[in-house]
Structure 1
Amino acid sequence: MSYVDGFVAAVPNENKQKYIEHAKLSATVFKEHGALKVTEAWGDNVPDGKVTSFPIAVNCGQNETVVFSSVIWPSKEVRDAGWEAIMQDPRMQPDQNPMPFDGKRLIYGGFEVIIEE
């Protein structure tokens, strides 16, 4: 079964184009290191919640938009090896590909796929 990494972040609206450029380069690097597919989605219908929500989870400000990203890997083993290589790849270093958002508010996790249709 495949393996999925998921990410949610709040990106300043003024940085949308910078985010797209950052995400395109990141997607290239991820795919070179074994990812099957990378998806980046700019929030369009992301409601505030009363108890929890995407905006609450990333402390989304008034002039920010929630983004949702996923990376699909063929397996956890490929993912683990890929991440190790990605962290060493010079294109992913902050001076080469700075994050156009507050990385401290990024939430992420790795998920074992249990259904794939």
Structure 2
Amino acid sequence: MYVDGFVLAVPTDGKEAYRRHAEEAAVVFRRHGALSLVEAWGDDVPEGKVNSMHTAVLRKPEETVVFSWITWPDKATRDAGMQKVFADPAMAGSMQHMPFDGTRMIFGGFEVIVDA
């Protein structure tokens, strides 16, 4: 399995808009090979003394930290799927009107080494 992980800051009063955005994106990702897409709204995210998810995404007081991940069968499926996702016409409007500041999103791809 392969996982894409994301941490971002979303305007707190935009939770419902973000949820709709994520649900629409999930359909496209699954159409192009993703096994699942999970969006988790920050509920118990402590601020650290040295670093934290808050500082990592430069969270503003009126924002909430969101932790997300997409699972794929393997990296090859993810690489091909991501190309198809960003070429999919269904994502064009979504990418132009994201309900968060994408410049502060942290993301990366991860090889799964334990899945207990």
TM-score, L = length of structure 2: 0.96
2:62 matched residue in structure 1 = 63
2:49 aligns with: 50
User: Aligned to 2:99, what secondary structure does the other structure show?
Assistant: coil
1:51-77: per-residue Cα shift (whole Å, max 9, x none)? 111001000111100001000000000
Report what 1:107 is aligned to: 106
Q: Post-superposition shift, 1:116?
A: 1.6
Long gaps (5+) in structure 1 = none
Is residue 2:73 matched to residue 1:77? Answer: no
| TM superposition shift of 1:90 | 1.3
Query: How far off is 1:91 after superposition?
Result: 1.6
The aligned amino acid for 1:63 is: E
1:7 Cα deviation (Å)? 0.4
Point out where structure 2 has 5 or more consecutive residues left out of the alignment.
none
- Paired residue for 2:14? 15
Separation in 2, partners of 1:99, 1:29: 15
- Cα offset for 1:14? 1.5
2:110 and 2:29 mapped to 1: Cα distance? Answer: 17
- Give the alignment's Cα RMSD to 1 decimal: 0.7
CA distance in 2 between counterparts of 1:41 and 1:17 reads 13
Q: Percent identity?
A: 54
Give the Cα separation in 1 of the matches to 2:49 and 2:70: 29
> How far apart, in 2, do the equivalents of 1:50 and 1:27 lie?
35
